[in-house]
Structure 1
């Protein structure tokens, strides 16, 4: 048990400058643990730069947790030759354009390793962190990957209580959603709004810009 903060960061979507700005405001300390909620890529201008920043951040903050979002899943499918149009129609073209090398698209191995080793969820004594949400009525161990990455209305419209606070991204809100047992942190950074971080214990939030 550490005395540090337990911090969660919402969907970044290629907005590297906002990520740098947000981390400068939060000023993570060695005792803190940061959980990034997925969707690092697509739609925004610098997907490659975001992953570079996260890899650099992980070196100085090795306790950090990086969750998989549906956009990382789509990118991995695309790279494996599956569901090509789904990726491209959901902002994947912006991700590909951030990886030019000699007229081709080349993804560094370090980035591929990062994408392939993302966690689907993270659980503590009081919190469950996941990209999109959970299917009501099922314990965490029985959840399906598709729901963890994609679920929306079935989760958002339910008042089911898992006995812990759910911290999630995926669905954009105008401001962080802070209810008795849910914290939603996708605040639409890539749509010209803000990138948000929350100390989930104190519910203190920071935003960039």
Structure 2
């Protein structure tokens, strides 16, 4: 049975990605098949370098599979369309808020400055009032135009064209999760990149083991019907890759494999 590797949410952590790829190469060689679970951008300092690395790997013929995450879409939506918000962000904060990480992502492309927000009431959406940088005080629309000048079209195209799922005989890879009781081909795309409620607490048998990220934990965890590989790299915790043989899973560490069981 062939081996398959997976890496959870990277969130702009280039040094962690390099370490994870080195662990995979040491375990399975340079030709190992790797599934990346999305959220390549935001919060960490090196989103540009992360996307560069993923694109170069694909162009070099590496056997890498990429899935889209919600933060990847948030990033693309702002640069392409000037959209600050997504209805699934219940707090109503702007993507540019450091909590979501857009400021760090733009900074990795050389767009550095200070965000100034406004929020008329707690029920209102937080919006960017203005931005101060090399061009002085500018509007959100002007910031978007600057972002479009700095972010390569190839990076946006890469993110926009990513699939939402990948599956094998034993595993379903998805960024956020699945709605129980709905066939994979009928799942709502919004659920695939955003779901928590209705999925995380479910003991539903999806037919295959679901491997996902999106919900940051202190450490990757096996829940029986699903494995959450988001170990919190977006918040500075280690990015821990995994290896699968069928439904069996091990985490890769500097000291070798560690079995991940329910």
TM-score by length of 2: 0.73
**Structure 2 residue matching 1:65: 3-state secondary structure:** strand
Question: Which contiguous aligned blocks of 4+ residues in structure 1 show a shift greater than 4 angstroms?
Answer: none
Tell me the residue number matched to 1:97.
107
Q: CA deviation at 1:87?
A: 1.7
Point out the structure with the larger helix share: 1
Contact map agreement 2:203 2:225 (CA 8 A) in 1: no
Give 1:7's match in structure 2, choosing from 5, 13, 31.
5
Partner of 2:259 in structure 1? none
TM-score when normalising by structure 1: 0.90
Equivalent-residue separation in structure 1 for 2:60 and 2:184 (angstroms): 30
1:30/1:61 contact within 8 Å kept: no
Q: What is the number of residues matched between the two proteins?
A: 206
Partners of 1:50 and 1:192 lie apart in 2 by 15
- SS class of match (1:48): helix
2:44 alignment partner in structure 1: 44
Alpha-carbon offset, residue 30 of structure 1: 5.3
Kept after mapping to 2: 8 A contact 1:4/1:32: no
Closer, same or farther: CA 55–144 of 1 in aligned 2, 3 Å: same
Residues 1-209 of structure 1: pairs in structure 2 closer than 5 A: 4-27=2-25, 28-29=28-29, 31-79=31-79, 80-83=81-84, 86-89=94-97, 90-100=100-110, 104-105=146-147, 106-201=150-245, 202-207=248-253
Q: Which moved more, 1:186-195 or 1:199-208?
A: 199-208
Larger radius of gyration: 2
- Structure 2 spans left out of the alignment, 5+ residues: 86-92, 112-133, 135-145, 255-262
Structure with the larger RCO, 1 or 2 (CA within 8 Å, 6+ apart): 1
SS, match of residue 72 in structure 1: helix
Contact 1:65 1:119 in 2 (8 A): no
Change (3 A) 1:74 1:48: same
Root-mean-square deviation over aligned CA pairs: 2.0
CA distance in structure 1 between the partners assigned to 2:106 and 2:186 by the alignment: 34
Three-state SS of the structure 2 residue aligned to 1:24 is helix
- Do the aligned partners of 1:195 and 1:207 also contact (CA within 8 Å) in 2? no
